Amino acid sequence: MAFNPTPTQFKALKAVLFMLALLPFLRMAWLTAAGVPVDPVEFLTHGSGDWALYLLCATLAVTPLRRLTGWNWLVRLRRMVGLFTFFYAFMHFMTFLWFDHFFDVAAMWKDVLKRPFITVGFAAFVLLIPLAATSTNGMIKRLGRNWARLHKVIYAIAPLAILHYWWMKAGKHNFEQPIVWGSIVGVLLLLRVWWSLSRPRTEKRVTTASVRS
């Protein structure tokens, strides 16, 4: 299973991944511009929300995949996947603020405060902002060890995102998808709990260092 891409291979891999992650956005933009979706607001809201969740899971899958395969280079793709997660979450939020509320910030706040499912979704989005903002090399250097601490916030964001999705579907008793994605997030987080309980302390520091690489 030992696979180590050459720098050229890695570059190509990264470019392909970038295009793949951008594809859903291009598709949504294209279809909306062409007037295909019957309800474009619903189409963009659901599409961007779904892809934010899928990419959040992909981001969380990097560490387990790395441990299981020994492909340490995977971690160098994580920032991009994480930023795409934020990109789709931002699109999700903007659809809500722009096309659903037409920048009526008062009405938006009313929704955020009054409706728990929006409250948790909004919280998940707000928590993503500092992670996206500290994704540059400069910020990683400046924050040092605190960078890794800060980015553990993702462990709170993921359950909030699932709860948001769950409550959104709850009114229509349509739990198939929330169960699937909730289980995926659950497994990805439980693996970390398991590993953190079963490995000695010294190893942890090594991992923290490599996270920053």
Stretch in the footprint of another protein (CB under 8 A) among 84-92, 111-119, 179-187, 190-198: 111-119
- Identify which of residues 94 and 193 has a Cβ nearer to another protein in the complex: 94
- Identify which of residues 82 and 178 has a Cβ nearer to another protein in the complex: 178
Produce one character per residue of 66-100: b if its CB has 16 or more CB atoms within 10 Å, e if not. Answer: beeeebeebbebbbbbbbbbbbbbbbbbebbeeeb
Hey, which residues between 20 and 79 contact another protein (CB under 8 A)?
Answer: 32, 35, 38-42, 44
- Identify which of residues 10 and 99 has a Cβ nearer to another protein in the complex: 99
Q: Rounding to the nearest 10 degrees, give the CA dihedral for residues 115, 119, 125, 127.
A: 180
- Identify which of residues 71 and 167 has a Cβ nearer to another protein in the complex: 167
Residue 138 in contact with another protein, rule: CB under 8 A: no
**Number of residues binding to another protein, judged by CB under 8 A:** 24
Indicate which single residue of 18, 155, 167, 195 sits in contact with another protein (rule: CB under 8 A): 167
Q: Where are the alpha helices (DSSP H) in the chain?
A: 7-33, 40-69, 75-94, 105-114, 116-133, 137-143, 145-151, 154-170, 176-198, 201-211
- Angle (CA) 139-141-143 rounded to 5° is 65
What does the binding site for another protein look like in residue numbers (CB under 8 A)? Answer: 32, 35, 38-42, 44, 99, 102, 107, 110-111, 114-115, 117-118, 167-168, 171-174, 176
